[in-house]
Amino acid sequence: APMAAGPAPDPRVLALAARVAEGSERDVPGLLLKLKEILSSASLGHQESKKIKQDIYFYDLIHYCLLVLRQDCSRLHGGWATAAQLAEIISHCCVGLEVKEDPEEFHKKFLPSAIDNLLFLGRRLQARFIRAIKDEERQDFLRHFQTVTDAICWLFGGHIQLTECVLQNDHFLQLLITDNVETAVTVMSVLHSILGVNSSVLLQVGEEILHSVLDELVYKLSSSTNPVVGNAATKLLLLMAKFCKQLLKLLATRYKGLNVLLSKQWTGKGFDRDLSQLLDLLYLEQSSGKGEMQRQHQAACIIQATWKGFLTRKRLKKLPQAVTTLQRSFRAKREQELQHLKKQKEDEALKLQMQLQRQRAMRLFHERQLALLEIIHPSQMSKHMQEMEVKSALTIQRFWRGYSARRNFHQQKQSLREYKAAVIIQRAACKFLEKRRRKRTLSPWKDPKGLTDEQRLALQQKVDDYIKLHPASQMSEEMSKELHTQAQEKLAQFLLRSRLDQRAAQRRETLLAQVNTDVELLMNAPRLAEITEKDLAVFMSRSVPVATRAKESHSAMLKHTRWPWWKKLGDEFEEDDVIPDDALNAELGSLFIGGRK
């Protein structure tokens, strides 16, 4: 939008504001860096420079710079270098800027906010520099840190009222409380610039801030041995003592052993001139009627300053952890409340569902009752009602007994738990005793002794000798074929011999059967005085004895079929043409057919 009444805005600023408004969030930091070129085109203090700064402030480009500094600068295009350049642009825009519309907002809100953002950026750069490992990264972060501190000095150099704002800011005290030499010297140089711009600013701030700054300076003198740190701290104390008598009195009364510390620890370190001036001022102040009690008080103040500095560092180091713990507990409590609400809703839904199911079950029960009443004959109604009462009573009794058993179980749960614990302990003790008993019976395992080099060589020699005496047999293809042929021939000879042996055994069995048959016939033959020609024919022909024996077997079978029923008990399940083996053995035991029994 064009300005109300006055000259036209700078076209470069107007074009840049349009590009920033239309561009993406990622491109905004790169576009804002062009403000440096626009500012450097006009000479400092010139009317054109003031007009450009007014246009930049009017189109909120400085506000965009402050918003960018609040972001994660490591993700910006150009990284921390871009953030340091933006801090420099903010300081140069604000110095020499004359705001005509609402100047109170600019001086009381915008400038303190700019100081706060720059100090916060300095803290992040200081932390990155301390954590950096590579020398190149450390140099880059230190250079960016010095650029930001120079921007802060330039800003409160153009607006003196900001010196009090810088000292009252918590970020400045945290920047000063550090053990790193490079950043500590840089911050002390900023404090030196503040005192050079406004020497009475320490009397305008609160007593707590003043004591914190003095405590930190005295702590650095007492704990550090670096001459650079000692020189910077000494110059600051000397500047405070020269500019304000009240601060010199405070140094002499609050830190009574400071002159002894300075003379013993920092004499001959390269800044004796400033050191001697500070010691003279302190001795002059102490010589005005202060004795041994004042020196003791000063020593106590130094101890307190050291201890307070230590506590402050410790508290600041624990601050992120405390914030993390607070956030974790808050989130856990919120999650617990959400879980409780969720569980409460589920219980209510479950109760409602159970109530609906109970109503549905009651409705179905009444419908069944009505259907049964319609089906049952009136004469059977009393009997049916009696049965229903019995079933209802049994159901009530069953539920009551279940409820009583559950209640008794819950009452006896502790004793049951103790009983189970005792059982578990007893089981573990029994297992332990059993393992110990087994370990006692078994002999302890002894690891085999390792072989020495001489024993290993002797065993290797024995193995080689055995291999030489018993070489492995290797057979060629011709030898394997010849061995196969021999095996086939021997197998054929064995099968032939087995057939011949089988025929000879069969012949022997036949002859033995014939001899047995003849013996039986002779034993059953009549005496010689009673023999006839017919009996003689039985022994003369080989077929006649067989026929005779078959006839006797047939007679035995006929005789068996004519037995009475009491002799054939147990033969009911046998076939009609099957004769018991005992009877056949008694009658046919000596009959041989075909040479076999």
pLDDT score for 423:
92
Residue 319, pLDDT above cutoff 50: yes
For residue 299, the model assigns a pLDDT of: 87
**Does 98 share its domain with 241?**
yes
Among 205-219, 413-427, 540-554, the range with the most confident prediction by mean pLDDT is 413-427
CATH of the domain at 94: 1.25.10.10
Using alpha carbons, select from 239, 217, 224, 228 the residue that is nearest to residue 308. Answer: 217
Residue 394 lies inside a defined structural domain of this protein: yes
Please report whether residue 109 resides in a domain: yes
Look at residue 394 and tell me whether its pLDDT is greater than 50: yes
Mean pLDDT score across all residues of the chain? 79
* Domain presence at residue 455: no
The last residue of one of the domains, among 357, 390, 410, is: 410
pLDDT of residue 6: 53
- In a shared domain, residues 385 and 259: no
State what percent of residues in the chain have pLDDT above 90: 13
Range of the domain at 386: 379-410
Distance of alpha carbon 318 from alpha carbon 430, whole angstroms: 52
Same-domain check for residues 126 and 262: yes
Predicted TM-score (pTM) of the model is 0.46
Which is more confident, 231 or 341?
Answer: 341
Residues 281 and 384 reside in one and the same domain: no
396 in the same domain as 260: no
In angstroms, what is the C-alpha Rg of the chain?
Answer: 61
Residue 580 lies in a domain: no
Dihedral over Cα of 500, 501, 505, 508: its sign = positive
pLDDT per residue as tens digits for the range 565-576: 667 665 554 444
Question: Tell me, what's the pLDDT at 332?
Answer: 92
Q: Specify if 536 maps to a domain.
A: no
What's the pLDDT score for residue 159? 81
Question: Does residue 251 sit in the same domain as residue 392?
Answer: no
268 shares its domain with 402: no
On the question of pLDDT at 418 being above 80, the answer is yes
Between 582 and 482, where is the model more confident? Answer: 482
pLDDT over 60 (residue 581): no
Considering the domain architecture, whether residues 259 and 395 belong to the same structural domain is answered as: no
Q: Is residue 228's pLDDT more than 50? A: yes
267 — phi, psi (to 5°)? -75, 135
Tell me, what's the pLDDT at 11?
77
Across the range 343-357, mean pLDDT stands at 93
Q: Residue 510: inside a domain, yes or no?
A: no
Domain ends where: 288, 321, 336?
288
* 3-state SS string for 490-549: HHHHHHHHHHHHHHHHHHHHHHHHHHHHHHHHHHHCCCCCCCCHHHHHHHHCCHHHHHHH
| pLDDT band at residue 469 using 50, 70 and 90 as cut-offs | confident
Ranges 54-58, 122-126, 486-490: which has the least confidence: 54-58
pLDDT bucket at 374, cuts 50 / 70 / 90: confident
Q: How many CA atoms lie within 13 A of 171 on its CB side?
A: 20
Count of beta carbons in the 10 Å neighbourhood of residue 119: 22
Say if 104 falls within a structural domain: yes
Question: Which residue among 288, 305, 333 closes a domain?
Answer: 288
Give mean pLDDT, residues 5-22.
72
Q: Which residue has the higher pLDDT, 259 or 577?
A: 259
- Domain assignment present for 454: no
Residues 257 and 389 in one domain: no
Residue 17 has pLDDT above 80, yes or no: no
- Read off the pLDDT band of 252 (50, 70, 90): confident
Rounded mean pLDDT of 201-216?
83
Work out the average pLDDT over 27-54.
71
Mean pLDDT confidence for 189-205: 83
Q: What is the DSSP string of 193-246?
A: HHHHH-TTHHHHS-HHHHHHHHHHHHHHHHH---HHHHHHHHHHHHHHHHH-HH
pLDDT band at 564 (very low <50, low <70, confident <90, very high): confident
For range 564-592, the mean pLDDT: 51
Q: How confident is the model at residue 207 (pLDDT cuts 50, 70, 90)?
A: confident
Closest CA to 96 of 140, 51, 152: 51
Which pLDDT score, from 0 to 100, does residue 576 have? 47
Structural domain total, the chain = 2
Residue with tokens 């109503």: 359
Answer yes or no: do 394 and 249 share one domain.
no
Assess whether 114 and 259 both reside in one domain: yes
Of residues 227 and 554, which shows the higher confidence score?
227
Helices and strands of the chain, counted as H and E runs: 26, 0
* Span 538-552, pLDDT tens digits: 666 656 566 666 677
Lowest mean pLDDT among 102-111, 124-133, 443-452, 524-533: 443-452
